[in-house]
Structure 1
Amino acid sequence: MGLDDKMKEAVGKAKEGIGDATDNESLRRSGQADRIEANVSELGDKANDRVGDATGAVADKVEDLKDSVTDDRRH
């Protein structure tokens, strides 16, 4: 979780707690929304990392295949 997401999560928790303590439903919901947004952002970051890893793995396999074909033609 990035620093911005951690901050949004912390602010969301604080808003929820204050909203509960003061019986302020609007503030509580705002805190929940902040926490959900932070978690969704984290999931998006993780998905991007995994796609990048998979793309790198595919590129490596293509390079290996190209090398094996090129090596076969040289012999």
Structure 2
Amino acid sequence: MNPAGAIVIYIVWWWVVFLGVLPMNVEGRWEKPDDGVEGADPGAPADPKLKQKAWLATKIAFLLWAATVAIILSGVFNFRD
């Protein structure tokens, strides 16, 4: 496995995990009537907490990436055939 392949695998894992954790703990604006933003869509999140979700996605993606790299380097699956 070359470094470019490892980076691509990590990026793919990060986006999959990020899109999975994105809807966690989200409160819509309709749940907080005193939000104070005029004209905002009521279904939009009041506080999406993107920084915490990005860090969570980074940690989980690293674990999944490490497992994927370990499997590829161990030779259990041969992707060259």
Task: Provide the TM-score with structure 1 as the length reference.
Answer: 0.40
Task: Provide the TM-score with structure 2 as the length reference.
Answer: 0.38
The structure in which a higher percent of residues are helix is 1
Query: Which is bigger in relative contact order (C-alpha 8 A, separation at least 6)?
Result: 2
